[in-house]
């Protein structure tokens, strides 16, 4: 694993945006895996700047998002689908047919999960996966205890995640309790991983994930086994 210390959030975001831009310039038809949350927001703003300046052409990429809340329709302001359209996809004018996000309102959720895995395979797998880190060590919505062999599945969110994500909702009760997430194996099968670490309460968990034993209790620790993973840490949080 390559570990890079960025001086602050802005520096981390620039490094991430450059890595994504390099990937798309090298392979314009890249399949990119994206994350939501606070961590990648500035990275997405910089990618939008690259698009506007004509530095990077995103028109031929395909995208897969890590996760989506169950029960929120794609036009719900807190759905991850809405988040991605607002913060990146609409602004880089990405054709909707190239965007893949699990459908949180699917009637048959296990079918939705299987179809999502199949869609990833049918586009040749994910070339570059962007990840954020949960304060409990989750990646995607793979909470502590998730089987390392998991593929896209339905998950019950932990109390810690519900509490952390309640900042985007009116109150704790409004936060969905379940989600669809790509599994640990789906993430490990991606060809390149970039984990961004920023935000409160992440200092201790990233230390454990990088230098502690690999354990399903700290899902991010499995990234130690990925052959092509980079971690960019905003060192102002340490
Ligand atoms: C979001 C996701 C989550 C977040 C993590 C960190 O799609 O998969 O794993 O990356 O919860 O969230 P923030 O960046 O808000 O601290």
CA of 166 to the centre of ligand 1 (A): 13
User: For residue range 189-206, what is the model confidence (pLDDT) as tens digits?
Assistant: 999 999 999 998 999 999
Ligand 1: distance of its center to the CA of 66 in Å? 9
E-strand ranges in 88-183 read 99-100, 128-131, 153-156, 178-181
Task: Give every strand in the sheet of 67-69, ordered side by side.
Answer: 67-69, 178-181, 153-156
Whether 14 has a pLDDT exceeding 90, the answer reads: yes
Whether ligand 1 lies within 6 angstroms of the CB of 139 is answered as yes
Q: What are phi and psi of 23, to 5 degrees?
A: -60, -45
Q: What is the pTM of this model?
A: 0.98
pLDDT digits (tens, 9 = 90+) for 87-126: 999 999 999 999 999 999 999 999 999 999 999 999 999 9
pLDDT at 10: 98
Residue 200 has a pLDDT of 85
Q: Decide: residue 211, CB within 10 A, 0-12 exposed, 13-18 middle, 19+ buried.
A: exposed
The Cα 66–Cα 1 span in angstroms is 21
The rounded distance, in Å, linking the Cα atoms of 21 and 194 is: 13
What is the mean predicted confidence (pLDDT) over 43-63?
98
Ligand 1 touching residue 202 (CB < 6 A): no
Nearest protein Cα to ligand 1, atom 4:
132
Q: Would the pLDDT of 139 be above 90?
A: yes
Q: Is the Cβ atom of 39 under 6 angstroms away from ligand 1?
A: yes
């Amino acid at each position: 694993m390559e570990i890079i210390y960025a001086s602050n959030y802005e520096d981390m975001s620039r490094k991430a945006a450059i890595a994504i831009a390099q990937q798309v310039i090298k392979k314009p038809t890249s399949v990119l895996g994206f994350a939501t949350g606070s961590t990648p927001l500035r990275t997405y703003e910089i990618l939008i700047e690259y698009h506007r300046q004509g530095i990077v052409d995103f028109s031929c990429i395909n995208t897969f998002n890590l996760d989506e809340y169950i029960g929120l329709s794609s036009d719900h302001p807190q759905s991850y689908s809405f988040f991605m359209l607002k913060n990146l996809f609409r602004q880089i004018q990405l054709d909707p047919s190239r965007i893949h996000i699990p459908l949180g309102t699917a009637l048959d959720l296990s079918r939705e999960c299987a179809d999502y895995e199949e869609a990833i395979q049918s586009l040749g797998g994910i070339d570059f996966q962007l990840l954020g880190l949960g304060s409990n060590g989750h990646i995607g919505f793979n909470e502590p205890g998730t089987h390392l062999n998991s593929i896209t599945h339905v998950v019950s969110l932990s109390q810690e995640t519900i509490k952390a994500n309640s900042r985007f909702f009116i109150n704790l009760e409004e936060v969905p309790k379940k989600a669809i997430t790509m599994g640990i194996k789906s993430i490990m099968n991606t060809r390149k991983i970039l984990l961004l670490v920023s935000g409160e309460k992440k200092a201790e968990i990233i230390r454990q994930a990088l230098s502690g034993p690999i354990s399903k209790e700290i899902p991010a620790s499995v990234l130690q086994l990925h052959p092509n993973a980079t971690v960019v840490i905003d060192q102002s949080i340490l």
